[in-house]
């Protein structure tokens, strides 16, 4: 099956009739929100979100509480039972670990953006390279174009985001955008659900990694802006079919204890 990504009428939902007996072969077991957050931590660690114990993901529940990975654990060891529950002010309601001192970054972002169910901050391996250069990486391939906008650059490093002023400045810099490169720091992004959060996070890291490699060879020919934008609108808004589920299954094969 071939498709023209510049065709605005194309929607991934058209693929649904092509799936044989979709209810007979569930592509993921039913997951609780805690299990989803733990799986997202594990999957993103494999993609380059792997700066030791740095980084945090929050997931705002319908009642306004936040789920967050604990401060003490690296992302590749988090299990569902480790996920903390916080109130809207960032105070622990349930959980055996401690919360990151930078929870104010997430608290302020969720307060500003009611569409942002998930907020991710980390010092990803390749995103941090472009953040340090204060440059937006070009789009050199299809996978780099799965989100339809460029990340914004927040170019004033004011210290760790657990400082309330620095955290608010980063939140204000993101504003209504989807993702940002924080100069001399890392990456910051928001999403409406787990699937979109995963897509945006891995797209940013892939884009940063590939662009660095291409430029080390002297540069290449970026995708035409209209082609990249059309591809991103098709995938970011509708969800790339089966991608989150496939990567989650890979992690479940590696360590099924993540769901415990």
Total tally of structural domains belonging to the chain:
1
Beta bridge partners of 179: 189
> Does 23 map to a domain?
no
Whether 157 contacts 184, CB under 8 Å:
yes
Looking up residue 221, the CATH number of its domain turns out to be: 3.40.225.10
Sites in the chain below the pLDDT cut of 70: 1-26, 159, 162
Candidates 44, 53, 173, 151; CA nearest to 105 is: 173
> Does 50 map to a domain?
yes
- pLDDT, residue 170, reads 87
Give per-residue pLDDT as tens, 133-174: 999 999 999 999 999 999 999 987 776 776 777 778 889 889
Give per-residue pLDDT as tens, 237-255: 888 889 999 999 999 999 9
> Does 144 map to a domain?
yes
Q: What b-and-e string marks burial along 5-14, b requiring 16 or more CB atoms within 10 Å of the CB?
A: beeeebeeee
> Does 118 map to a domain?
yes
User: Please, is 130 exposed, middle or buried when counting C-beta atoms within 10 Å of its C-beta (0-12, 13-18, 19+)?
Assistant: buried
Candidates 173, 244, 237, 179; CA nearest to 208 is: 179
Q: What b-and-e string marks burial along 134-164, b requiring 16 or more CB atoms within 10 Å of the CB?
A: eebbbbbeeebbbbbebbbbbeebbeebeee
> Does 11 map to a domain?
no
Report the C-alpha gap between 15 and 30 in whole angstroms: 22
> Does 141 map to a domain?
yes
Whether 78 contacts 258, CB under 8 Å:
yes
> Does 180 map to a domain?
yes
The predicted model scores a pTM of 0.88
Whether 80 contacts 38, CB under 8 Å:
yes
For residue 182, the enclosing domain spans 31-259
> Does 241 map to a domain?
yes
The enclosing H or E element of 59 equals strand 56-60
User: Please, is 55 exposed, middle or buried when counting C-beta atoms within 10 Å of its C-beta (0-12, 13-18, 19+)?
Assistant: buried
Residue 131 CA to chain centroid, in angstroms? Answer: 16
Whether 149 contacts 174, CB under 8 Å:
no
Report the C-alpha gap between 172 and 234 in whole angstroms: 27
Listed in sequence order, the residues at least 6 apart from 253 whose beta carbon sits closer than 8 Å to its beta carbon are: none
Report the C-alpha gap between 239 and 249 in whole angstroms: 17
């Amino acid at each position: 099956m071939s498709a023209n990504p510049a065709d605005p009428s194309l929607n991934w939902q058209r693929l649904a009739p092509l799936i044989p007996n979709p209810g007979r072969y569930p592509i993921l077991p039913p997951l609780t929100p805690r299990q989803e957050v733990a799986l997202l931590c594990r999957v993103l660690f494999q993609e380059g979100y792997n700066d030791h114990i740095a980084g945090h993901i929050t997931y705002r529940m319908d009642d306004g509480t936040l789920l967050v990975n604990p401060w003490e654990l690296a992302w590749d060891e988090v299990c569902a039972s480790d996920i903390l529950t916080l109130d809207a002010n960032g105070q622990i309601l349930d959980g055996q670990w401690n919360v990151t001192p930078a929870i104010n970054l997430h608290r302020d972002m969720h307060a500003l953006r009611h569409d942002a169910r998930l907020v991710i901050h980390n010092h990803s391996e390749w995103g941090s390279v472009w953040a340090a250069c204060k440059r937006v990486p070009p789009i050199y391939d299809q996978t780099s174009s799965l989100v339809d906008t460029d990340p914004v650059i927040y170019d004033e490093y004011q210290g760790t985001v657990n400082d309330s002023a620095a955290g608010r400045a980063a939140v204000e810099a993101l504003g209504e955008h989807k993702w940002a490169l924080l100069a001399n720091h890392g990456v910051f992004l928001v999403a409406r659900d787990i699937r979109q959060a995963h897509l945006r996070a891995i797209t940013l890291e892939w884009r940063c990694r590939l662009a660095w490699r291409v430029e080390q060879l002297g540069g290449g020919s970026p995708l035409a802006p209209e082609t990249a934008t059309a591809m991103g609108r098709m995938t970011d808004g509708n969800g790339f079919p089966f991608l989150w589920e496939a990567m989650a299954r890979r992690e479940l094969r590696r360590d099924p204890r993540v769901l415990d």
